[in-house]
Structure 1
Amino acid sequence: MDRRFSDLTPDELRREVDRLQREAETKRNQGLMAEAEVLEQRLFLAKSYLCDPSAFRPGETYRVIGEDKPFRLAFIRGVMAWGHLEGGTEARAFPLGRLYR
């Protein structure tokens, strides 16, 4: 894809999410785990552009796909959620598409 996710329409983003999911699954089935992980990161970023940032509340705790510890949201900048994993002191950022309740 030559265009940035931020330039895509919601329909184009949904098609790209579907394509990335299929491609990541294919790579996983082929045993190409590193390539699958890169595609999954792109997938989460694309999904983030479909999220409504106002649906996420600073100070609340969320789960993060791929992380074991809860994540306390401090603030949102663009499509990235900034905060701390439980017990951690280092600020972390995750695409909104990786957060869930």
Structure 2
Amino acid sequence: MATEKHYSEMNENELRSEIGVLMEKARKAEQMGMISEYAVHQRKAVLVQSYLVDPETIVPGEIYRIEGDTGVFFQVDYLKGLFAWGYRLGGEKAIEALPLAMLKDVKSGK
């Protein structure tokens, strides 16, 4: 039996391959109407994508767009692992953590 690698041990090509596998599983689950399974694969893919994000590009105190949540912005307070902790602007200012891959730079439009 082959032992599975942790995502933290994978190189960029292996991570990209895993993202492709997860997105394909999500697509199939969606086609079969298994919405909760679709959501699990989508979230897992976002976490794997976070391993490809350089944490140095996420600056505490800065504001970022949230991928998949049009018109919503997130102010980062601090980073811990693959997550940025902060709060959504215009909301209740409840602290929450978002995977790094969900944050997109407002200034460059990326």
- TM-score where L is the length of structure 2: 0.83
- In 2, the alpha carbon distance for the partners of 1:23 and 1:44 equals 14
Residues 23-43 of structure 1, C-alpha deviation per residue, up to 9 Å, x if partnerless?
111111111110010001110
Residue number among 4, 17, 20 corresponding to 1:18 in the alignment: 20
Gaps of 5+ in 2: 106-110
SS of the residue aligned with 1:57? Answer: coil
Paired-residue identity, %: 32
- Asked if residue 77 in structure 1 is aligned to residue 66 in structure 2, the reply is no
Larger of the two Rg values belongs to structure: 2
- TM-score where L is the length of structure 1: 0.90
Alpha-carbon distance, 1:80 to partner: 0.6
Alpha-carbon distance, 1:74 to partner: 0.9
Alignment map for 1:1-101 (pairs within 5 Å): 2-67=4-69, 69-86=72-89, 87-101=91-105
Q: Which moved more, 1:68-77 or 1:5-14?
A: 68-77
RMSD value, Cα: 1.5
Residues 4-54 of structure 1, C-alpha deviation per residue, up to 9 Å, x if partnerless?
211111111010011111111111111111001000111000000001000
Gaps of 5+ in 1: none
One-letter identity of the residue aligned with 1:89 = K
Alpha-carbon distance, 1:83 to partner: 0.5
- In 2, the alpha carbon distance for the partners of 1:82 and 1:88 equals 15
What corresponds to 2:108 in structure 1?
Answer: none
